[in-house]
Structure 1
């Protein structure tokens, strides 16, 4: 039996233009993008319902607790703080009011294979210039020029590219863009690895400057050197941490969304986007979902925004003739890496590890080739990432214990398996986890690490497929290679269905928590018909006309 629901309801926080028709919206997915999008739409004057297939909000930015340990299950680097603050200001508050942010000093530690002396990346630009100089004579001055370039490109990216829907290219025809045309072309066509290698000789420095490509779900050998701008974030701006963990960000945004009247339905698995004939092309009219009881429910709305995986949205929720990005499109796409995640509760202290610690292998290029190349395989040993939030946040672990989150980039292949608690995951994946624990113990000189683990949970690419409908089990989304960056990444509006918009890491502007918040803002810009490239003014002042969404594609 199919039931019909409605997303229309009253809210004490509505502001509407006189004479404007009531509008309703359904947002698919209650991860950070879905919650952020819903909050902005509700503040704009729409009645918003969010459908979440799982039993809790947060999506990849989730939390898992066991025996007094609290683990963030996804993002753990707080970069681009001004993007977070801008988003909160759009909702009438600020990051300072919502979060307790701590600057990490040092920012992070790097262990290099075969080298017992780790390198600690410092909290300020000046200290990092001195650090680079100590590792390679002359590298301090070269890093200064590198960071100046990174800062300039970062500023241009924020002003002209990141906040653009690319619904029109006219706003890009500005003097600051055109004057840099030849340089931007070079930065787009040259890989980041080559850009770095021309400036630095020490392999450690090359790896430190190339690693930010992983934040983009990519490899420094296929990522455009345009993204050297990422080094501005960690080497100049520094790295922050929100006390209470990254799930605190979700909690804050959820509270703001609820204050705007947003309703979130858990265990509501969206199965199809409903459409009806329109004056031109079909128009979205709502979403069919399965509730916790197994009943099929139709939720009608004027606007549908999918913050779910774009591949799943297009290929599973729309009929073939309505797909802007059909299966054939995805056959030509490059997925970001998959990931094997370990959540480890460890008895005793681990001074060898900082809040953020990276392990880099000597076969750097071969390591990435195994993940992104034609003949993929799990790297052994692997370059990997460890987060120890208990270094900064006492609430992350019981007294006398440490909390470790380990991320091992692997090929995006669900066949690598699913994880479990206390070794209950697929045998192959658990064996890989065992080898990773041995690697950390050896490289960071913690010989008894395995014996000190009291809590263990693993997650594999198969879990990302099952839990988040992730395309090919990818951890993050489509990689930021040239053909999947900026206006090449695709539209955040369906070209086949009016009133259907997209948000999240698999669409504009890309991967990462700041990008997800910008993605939510781009939905609002599409709704308003705004084609400018800059962020919206702060704060959002009441509702605006929403008629432009009919022709948003």
Structure 2
């Protein structure tokens, strides 16, 4: 029987869910409030510069491979992927030369050993553990909808409990610091917590598995930018018969008793549906789209949640070349722990401030992709983790954002100029846009203006993270604020988890690839 499925949100999760369900024969329609699909993985263009406005690291390639295989295609057929060498560059505060992080076990070990004698052998053991835990996560944790505890009783999990227990009870920072002495190497291994919307001083050391991705596997980039990933998923959804409506805001989810019967659009149109899947921020879905009695989580529950950090984003079109920067470049401050405390500590919600100087990330896609900037120019995307504090104001174009945001952006540009040896950077900027937590709140309904949904603390990971089923019979949640977590690969898995639940599949495995494919 064909089901009518209404999907709220046209980010990668909503498009992926639409593609998978339409491929099975369901009648699927996606409703995206913004004028373009992609959500946080959006795009902005001006004067020949094209900027990705969200994700910029292509990690966990096997997750993308599996998703494409479910639809009878491959990542190679849908995307033009190139491997980055080096994987990324790091500037440490007070250091005269950058440190290039290279991928591949042998190269990474040699680079670590050259900086800290003996660190290479330690990294070998560290990456062995990271690879083992990563494989366990993919096979037993990430594709588990956690509707029961059966998956945790699997022999593979029970056999590793002695190793898993300490990884759950100590922080990533303490795990790293016990093994490495060099400050910069510690920071390189701790920074992946930021990709999880967390701090290395809060994220459990289980997440040292992230180092398997950049140091063992390597870092890829889809030519044309991450909008090409979104375009590929949208193309597959439409080719299977899904309809995608942009500029179409959902006003509410219609509930009758313990079930939903569809949605109401902002213009008043009622859309009947057998299944509703909301890929919007879960907090927005529950507090804005549902009546109080239909919500799965209470306001008191949300008050205790830990948001991911906010982000100050700078989109900069720069005249001339910038060889000082790699495709990915990170700047790390000496006051590392204090910086994270300013973002995640108790004071961050009482009197939030944007760190200065900040540990920050720069993406220069024009180092790899000539399509993102005019010839002889560079495209920079800068991300500064900051408190999730919409009250600090909105960003804007050409410096017309709120004063605190633009002043902070000026300081960031000056910091990059000084630390990386580009003294005339500010004078060479031809295009400038800033984006702040207030913009995330306005554009995406982001919980507290956070950039990545709920942080991956121990109490907000795996079975402790909000699940994909609402208490309403036929309403489902998917995306970065629910299982399994944040990032494009996790969002693809989240879409697959909803499909599994609709199938009645509560196991820990992936959906099987159809034999004919």
Indicate whether the TM-score tops 0.5. Answer: yes
Instruction: Indicate how the Cα distance of structure 1 residues 464 and 69 shifts in structure 2: closer, same or farther if over 3 A, else same.
Output: same
Which of 450, 455, 463 is equivalent to 2:439? 463
CA contact (8 A) 1:108 1:121 kept: yes
Contact 1:172 1:533 in 2 (8 A): no
Aligned match for 1:87, one of 60, 67, 79: 67
The aligned residue for residue 186 of structure 1 is: 166
Mapped to 2, the partners of 1:397 and 1:500 lie a distance apart of 43
Please state how far the C-alpha of 1:539 moved relative to its aligned partner: 3.4
Once the two structures are TM-superposed, the CA of residue 541 in structure 1 deviates from its matched residue by: 7.4
Per-residue CA deviations over 1:384-429 (Å, capped at 9, x if unaligned) read: 0000000000101100100000000000011121111111111110
Deviations, residues 252-284 of structure 1 (Å, cap 9, x unaligned): 11111001111111121112111223xxxx111
Q: In 2, are the aligned partners of 1:315 and 1:326 still within 8 Å (CA)? A: no
Query: Among 291, 296, 319, which residue is 2:268 paired with?
Result: 296
The equivalent of 1:438 in structure 2 is: 414
**In 2: Cα distance, 1:315 partner to 1:475 partner:** 19
Contact 1:90/1:540, CA 8 A, preserved across alignment: no
Equivalences for residues 17-416 of structure 1 within 5 A: 21-277=1-257, 282-290=258-266, 295-376=267-348, 377-416=353-392
- Return the alpha-carbon distance in structure 2 between the equivalents of residues 64 and 456 of structure 1: 11
| Deviation of the 1:490 alpha carbon | 1.7
Structure 1: gaps spanning 5 or more residues: 1-20, 543-553
Contact 2:167 2:206 in 1 (8 A): yes
Which is further off, 258-267 or 304-313?
A: 258-267
Whether the 8 Å CA contact 2:83–2:221 is kept in 1: the answer is: yes
Alpha-carbon separation, structure 2, partners of 1:427 and 1:195: 40
Q: 1:326 offset after TM fit, Å?
A: 2.1
Of the candidates 385, 389, 401, which is equivalent to residue 425 of structure 1?
A: 401
Q: Which runs of 5+ in 2 are unaligned?
A: none
| Structure 2 counterpart of 1:538 | 513
Matched, 1:478 2:458: no
With the length of structure 2 as denominator, give the TM-score of the two structures.
0.98
Whole-Å separation in 2 of the counterparts to 1:510 and 1:467: 20
CA deviations on 1:121-177 (whole Å, 9 max, x unpaired) are 013211110010011111000000000000000000000000010112213311110
List, as ranges, runs of 4+ consecutive aligned residues in structure 1 with deviation greater than 4 Å: none
* Partner in structure 2 of residue 11 of structure 1: none
Q: What secondary structure does 2:110 align onto?
A: helix
Partner of 2:494: 519
Give the distance between the partners of 1:421 and 1:254, measured in 2 at CA.
29
Is residue 107–residue 234 contact of structure 1 (8 Å, CA) maintained in 2?
Answer: yes
8 Å Cα contact 1:25/1:46 also seen in 2:
yes
CA distance in 2, matches of 1:303, 1:136: 56
Q: CA deviation at 1:519?
A: 0.4
Partner of 1:448: 424
- How many Å separate the matches in 1 of 2:448 and 2:516? 41
- What SS does the aligned partner of 2:145 have? coil
Structure 1 residue 540: deviation in Å? 8.1
Are 2:131 and 2:209, in contact at CA under 8 Å, matched by a contact in 1? yes
* Cα RMSD (Å): 1.0
Matches of 1:360 and 1:122, distance apart in 2 = 18
Cα distance 1:498–1:78, how it changes in 2: closer, same or farther (>3 A)? same
Structure-2 separation of matches of 1:129 and 1:415: 44
3-state DSSP of counterpart to 1:134: helix
Q: Distance in 2 between matches of 1:541 and 1:317?
A: 40
Q: What's the offset of the Cα at 1:116?
A: 1.5
- Number of aligned residues: 513
CA–CA distance in structure 1, aligned partners of residues 54 and 331 of structure 2 = 18
User: In structure 2, how many angstroms separate the alpha carbons of the residues matched to 1:423 and 1:231?
Assistant: 37
CA distance in 1, matches of 2:496, 2:2: 21
